[in-house]
Amino acid sequence: MSRNVEDEVARHTIETMTNDDFRTILSCLMRVCWSAGAGKLYLATGEGSDQLKSGLCSFTTSIVNSKDVSIAQESLELLVTCLKLRKNLLKIFYELSRVEEFVIDVLLGSSQPDLRNQMMESFFDLCLDARFYS
């Protein structure tokens, strides 16, 4: 399958999924980005997600390996892409449990400057998009 066809299939899937499925996808991507950004990807699972809380990235004393950083960046990119495709459902994202902690912790607490910069740029773009479309 060509890249354009794959992109269209992915776009169609996101645009047509139910609100509950969309919420689940957003929650999963948030957990993956947050936990990988702290070098603790194992916390992205259902059982470990109870440990996702404010300061997770800030209090990480070990160096986050490059694979975890890549996973965090890719999941952040997917999260933002989903939100841009369903701008009318931004409210679902902002109503997720601990979303404020996630944004602040990754944006300010991550030891990885590339991830912090990507978070800043991504959410700045989302804010601009939301203002334009509201």
Residues 49-92: tens digit of each pLDDT: 666 776 666 666 677 889 999 999 999 999 999 999 998 898 99
Exposed / middle / buried, residue 128 (Cβ in 10 Å: 0-12, 13-18, 19+): exposed
The model's pTM is 0.86
Q: Which domain holds residue 65?
A: 3-133
The dihedral built from the CA positions of residue 26, 28, 32 and 38, taken in this order, carries a sign that is positive
- Work out whether the CA dihedral 41, 42, 44, 49 comes out positive or negative: negative
> Would you tell me the crossing angle of helices 3-16 and 66-85 to the nearest 10 degrees?
60
Instruction: Write out the two tokens for 75.
Output: 């999941």
Q: Which residues contact 65 (CB under 8 A, 6 or more apart)?
A: 39
Residue 49 confidence (pLDDT): 61
DSSP reduced 3-state for 59: coil
Going by C-alpha positions, the residue among 51, 54, 72, 83 that lies closest to residue 116 is 72
Residue 98 has pLDDT above 80, yes or no: yes
* Number of folded domains that form the chain: 1
18 closest CA partner among 76, 93, 89, 90: 89
**pLDDT given at position 115:** 92
